[in-house]
A and B are shown apart, each in its own frame.
Chain A
Amino acid sequence: MTREREAHALRAAIAAGRLSAADACRASLDAIARLDPELHAFQHVMADAASARARAVDADPSAKQAPLAGVPVAIKDNILTRGVPTTACSKILEGYIPPYDATVIERLTRAGAVIVGKTNCDEFAMGSSTENSAFGPARNPWATDRTPGGSSGGSAAAVASGMVPIALGSDTGGSIRQPAALCGVLGLKPTYGRVSRYGLIAFASSFDQIGPFTRTARDAADVLAVIAGHDPLDSTTVETPVADYAAALTGDVRGLRVGVPGHLLTHGVDPDITRAFERALDELRAAGAELTDIALPHADLAIAVYYLIGNAEASSNLARYDGVRYGRRAPAATVTEMYARTRDRGFGAEVKRRIMIGTYVLSAGYYDAYYLKAQQVRTLIRRDYDEAFTRVDVVAVPTSPTAAFRLGERASDPIQMYLSDVFTVSANLAGLPAISIPCGLTDARLPAGLQLTARPFDESTLLRAADALERRTSWATERPPIFA
């Protein structure tokens, strides 16, 4: 018996009555039980709730025709799930049971999806390796002594290892795309305003966006079609119509204008990543795309802008964890001592570091020199992209300058860790959609990722390019040896 693996095929088999949602759910839970003790991709597995939900889908003829009927899905642990523990992998939220679902959870459920668990991530999504998870790091399915990337590393590892066909992550500075690249799966950060963040635990509100991890462009198109759209509960979502993403998967990229900012790629990129990137460009060219060298003059300042503004926003967003309304409280005699002690004991080192930086740059006397300056450079970076998109349709760079690094390798040097995000943060600064597409393995058999960035609300072009590469190469079907 052929076992359907991808969401699109699973859903078709379930709709046709060849497979039950309960069996699909059981296969996913079995894979988690077998692989997760080693990978630690999951923070919380919802075995009973998922099985019950799958049986409910099987019992309802109309649910079986829904766009994601019976498809097992994993959710990053910073997205609220009603009645299911949600911690953002922080001790300060240990034991928290959200009283409501995030909008993306409601939409997935309405589309027939079966949520099997919550995935491991860096605490409050702050990190690039999942080593900042208060509950221990996730591991890369390709090499378990290495990081799956971060912050949505658990979601990436869960999809790459075959535990689920779909996972949701959040992307504030690359937290979907970088782990997708390091684990060899597809990761999409939609345009700012395309997907509701209601129920996403806020990190940096002017950057945060939710998006899918999948193994195929078709599955990414189907998930985005379900989760995208205006939400009255998130005033940053727009009414721009949701495109027919599946219809964009024609395999035809003839005439697609691909801009390559060659000046960014001359140093700091590992040679085997450069080779994989150039292979991907060759394939796009062979498929009829037109490559052009472009300049993004302010891109080298993007990391500084990102960490400055992101930490400022984080210091404000995380003020809500004060031991009063949810999560943990450290006992103290006065209320101010209670706040400070709760926060010191509840937050990990990286979260405190970012709150401290954010508080500093917003404090009296430094606002203009740091925060205002960074917001002005953010404008310059946006203008660079506006200018580029007058000449090209997408901008191509490697998603990450290196393949998956070893756990512990960068943990003691915050700036070295921040530089992992050098190619991903700009899309968040400018609010643009961006995708990481698998582009083969390095000599050490570690995945590399191609990142494409497009104009606002042009996710269709990103998915079309991913689909074209899928049809021309075997990169999307490379699997780690432990694949379930």
Chain B
Amino acid sequence: MPTNLTRADVTRIAALARLELTEDETTLFVEQLAAILSYFEDLQRADTTNVPPTAQVAVLAAAPWREDADRPSLDRDLLIRQAPEGDRDAGLFTVPRVIGS
């Protein structure tokens, strides 16, 4: 596994994570992420042959099923009011043009 993380790797990951990193942040992260990833290499010491993964511990006691009934949701107007840009009359969040831009 690559503990030798390149600048291109960091740029690619930043694009996947929708982060527009500055040049300085990219430089810092090349070094720090490599150190953190090499710390994770320790895990390879553990023998995990035939060991199932744990994704959730909530199975300790299963939550009950709820009744399949409708119930009121949060007020749309109040929610749109929290958005940086929105159109309360139309009931929409507003974003920069996506199609044909």
Contact = CB atoms under 8 A, between A and B. Distances in A.
Given A239-B61, A322-B18, A456-B60, 11 more contacts: A193-B63, A307-B36, A315-B17, A326-B83, A327-B84, A333-B101, A353-B29, A356-B29, A363-B16, A370-B43, A380-B51
B74 A359 contact: no
7 contacts: A99-B74, A192-B58, A328-B84, A335-B101, A355-B17, A377-B46, A430-B57
B82 A97 contact: yes
Interface in A328-381: 328-329, 332-341, 343-344, 347, 349, 352-353, 355-357, 359-361, 363, 366, 369-370, 372-380
Contact of B51 (A359, A370, A376): A376
Interface residues of A, number: 76
B57 A343 contact: no
Interface of A: 96-97, 99-100, 191-193, 206, 230, 232, 235-240, 298, 300-301, 304-305, 307-308, 315, 319, 322-329, 332-341, 343-344, 347, 349, 352-353, 355-357, 359-361, 363, 366, 369-370, 372-380, 382, 414-415, 429-431, 456-457
A356 B33 contact: yes
Contacts of A329: 84-85
A190 to B, nearest CB: 12
Q: Which of B37, B43, B57, B66: most chain A Cβ within 10 A? A: B57
A240 B72 CA distance: 27
B95 A338 contact: yes
Interface of B: 1, 9-10, 13-22, 25, 28-29, 32-33, 35-37, 39-40, 42-46, 48, 51-58, 60-64, 66, 74-75, 78-79, 82-85, 93, 95-98, 101
B18 A339 contact: yes
Given A308-B40, A415-B39, A240 B61 contact: yes
A323 B96 CA distance: 11
Nearest to A341: B20
Contact of B40 (A300, A370, A378): A370
B48 A373 contact: yes
A336 B79 CA distance: 23
A337 B19 CA distance: 9
